[in-house]
Each structure stands twice: as structure tokens, then as C-alpha cells.
Amino acid sequence: MKIAFIGFPLALGADRKGVERAPGYFRKAGVIEMMSGIAGCYDLGDVQSAIIAEGKHEADSELKYLDTIVDTAAQLMDKVASVIRQGYFPLVVGGDHSLGLGSVAGAAIACENLGVIWFDAHGDFNTEETSPSGNLHGMPCAALMGWCRSSMKEVPRKTVAPENFYWVGTRDLDPGEVQMAKQNGLHIFSAEEVRHRGMNAVMDDIIADLKERNINKVHISIDIDSMDPRLVCGTGTKVRNGLWNGDFYTFLDRIFLTRSVVSADLVEYNELLDDQYHTTATWCLEALHYLAVKIKGE
């Protein structure tokens, strides 16, 4: 399957500069040419908002840059849905994880009964009431499940059922998220569980549940802070005791073997936080290379 590369050069959801540079950085590093040689790749450019972000709290006293992020996510949603319907694989590169609101919403339009695997140190299902920061990159899953009250909830044309979400590598939930996870019985596979049981055992559980729920279309959203910061330092919300390369590549191997993956994100690389050797950039490029190989097989 051929890849449609979509850039999302936005840092407003994280309220920290640097991640907006990532799509351009990877293009300059030759990622389009690399993926073209593996699977075929069309660069669809960047999703840009027509709404200028003049202040953090334009529309809502609790939510930063709400109007701009909602507008950009809605544009991304339409683009992802169109790409899938045309038979291509949208690969969205951020930018911060607020983009997941648009990419998952787009995949949900194009695919019935979509499953979502959120590969992340964080849950990203805070609501306006539970968010300690007002940063929207911590809320896309809540909006996709229909839990938000702001205009974020208006982006998805179809909500994704909570039982269709699977979090992998999670290890930093806010208090409100902990409560909501318990109340809703969310599928959360922590980094500690991965270390204890192994990624293969975790994927056995996820794949079995996907089959039981008759989910044969899956979006994977990869936040690089899922990885241990000793391996991946160039990201803004590092959390200790993360996942390692064996975990990551086993995850990709197992989920792509199901032949169900229809779209993917890679988010939160911050060039300004990388080390002098650009080790995190190198990790991301290797991850994108491996993704391209797996997408070709789809």
C-alpha cells in the first residue's frame, strides 16, 4: 500500500515550541524519498490553520489555543478520511498529540467500528474538568470518546467507543484520568505490565479483544514519549521507566500481522530538546523506515 505523508506542524497543543519543526526536519532528512523507495509515498504537505493563535485562552478560560487546534484537527480529519477512501495509507507526522483528534476522527469516518491503539506514556483522556494544564494534547482521546463539552467534541463526526481504545506503555495518568479509567474499564497496558509480561503477551490480549469485538480496522497513534527517555530524549513530556526498542518493534510486528492497520501517527519529536548527536531524530527516522516496510506489506 502506498503512503500519504501528512505533516501537522503544530505545537500549540503542548504549549511548548519545537515540535512544530518535526515534519520539515524529517523531510529535509530525506524521509519522503526513503519511504518512496520502500512503499511509494506521496507528500500531501502540511495541515495549516486559517485561525491565527493570538493567545492561549482565546475561546475558553480553561483550554489553550482551542479555536486554532479545533480548526486544524477538523482539516486533518477530512484529509485522513479522503486518503483512506482512495486506498492509501495516511501517515501523520506531528507536531504535538492534539493531532490525534483529527487523524482518529478521519479514520473513524472512513472505517466502521474503528479500533485505536494509543502508544503513549500518557492517557490523553483528560477532560476540561480534569486537565491540570489546559494543554489540549492531553485531551484528544476524551474528545474522541465524546467526553468533552468544548468545541473539541464537535470535530469527530462519529465518536469512538471507549472499549475500542487500547493504551500501551502508559505510566503517567493524572488523578482524574485514573478515576475515569476505573469507572469506564478502559484497556490500559502499562509500561510496567509490558516489562513484567512481555509485549507479545500484551499483544495477544489486544489482538484477541479486537477479534472478539469484530474490529478489523485499526489506527495506531505513536507518541515517542512512550519510549524510555534514556533512549528517546528529544520530547517534551519525558517519563521514566518507558519502553525499549524490542517492545516497540514487537508491537509493530504483531499489529501489522493482523492486516488491520489503516492509518498511523508519529508525534512529539522536539528538535530543540534532542541531544547534540540527534539521537532521537535518528530513532524517529528508523521508526518511520520500519513503519514504511510494514505499510508496504499491508
CB 121 within 8 A of CB 228: no
Percentage helix, strand, coil for the chain under 3-state DSSP, each rounded to 5: 45, 15, 35
CA distance 248 to 250: 5
For residue 197, give the H/E element and its range: helix 191-197
Helix (H) or strand (E) holding 220: strand 218-223
Please state whether beta strands 3-8 and 89-94 pair in parallel, antiparallel, or not at all (unpaired). parallel
**What's 61-129 look like in SS3?**
CCECCHHHHHHHHHHHHHHHHHHHHCCCEEEEEECCHHHHHHHHHHHHHHCCCCEEEEECCECCCCCCC
Model confidence at 213: pLDDT above 90: yes
Q: What percent of the chain has pLDDT over 70?
A: 96
Q: What is the pTM of this model?
A: 0.96
Mean pLDDT of the chain: 95
What pLDDT does 270 receive? 98
Mean pLDDT of 2-21: 96
Per-residue pLDDT tens over the stretch 165-199: 999 999 999 999 999 999 999 999 999 999 999 99
Catalytic residues: 97, 120, 122, 124, 137, 223, 225, 268
Q: What angle do CA 240, 270, 288 make, to 5 degrees?
A: 90
Model pLDDT, residue 59: 45
The yes-or-no verdict on residue 53 having pLDDT over 80 is no
For residue 54, is pLDDT > 90?
no
Q: Does residue 51 have a pLDDT over 80?
A: no
Give 286's DSSP letter: H
CB atoms within 10 A of CB 261: 23
Domain borders along the chain are: 3-297
For residues 100-109, average pLDDT: 98
Q: Confidence class of residue 50 from pLDDT cuts 50, 70 and 90? A: confident
For residues 62 and 131, is the Cβ–Cβ distance under 8 A? yes
Angle, vertex CA 68, rays to CA 159 and CA 26, nearest 5: 90
pLDDT band at 49 (very low <50, low <70, confident <90, very high): confident
pLDDT in tens, 262-296: 999 999 999 999 999 999 999 999 999 999 999 99
C-alpha cell at 6: 501528512
What residues does 180 pair with on adjacent strands?
none
| Cβ contact 47:106 at 8 Å | no
* pLDDT score recorded for residue 62: 73
Do the Cβ atoms of 89 and 263 come closer than 8 Å? yes
Three-class secondary structure of residue 210 per DSSP: helix
Question: Band of the pLDDT at 55, cuts 50, 70, 90?
Answer: low
47 within 8 A of 13, measured Cβ to Cβ? no
CATH number of this structure's domain 3-297: 3.40.800.10
Using the predicted structure, report yes or no on whether residue 228 has a pLDDT greater than 60.
yes
**Confidence band of 52 (pLDDT split at 50, 70, 90):** low
Grid coordinates standing for 294?
A: 510494514
Q: Say which amino acid occupies 201.
A: A
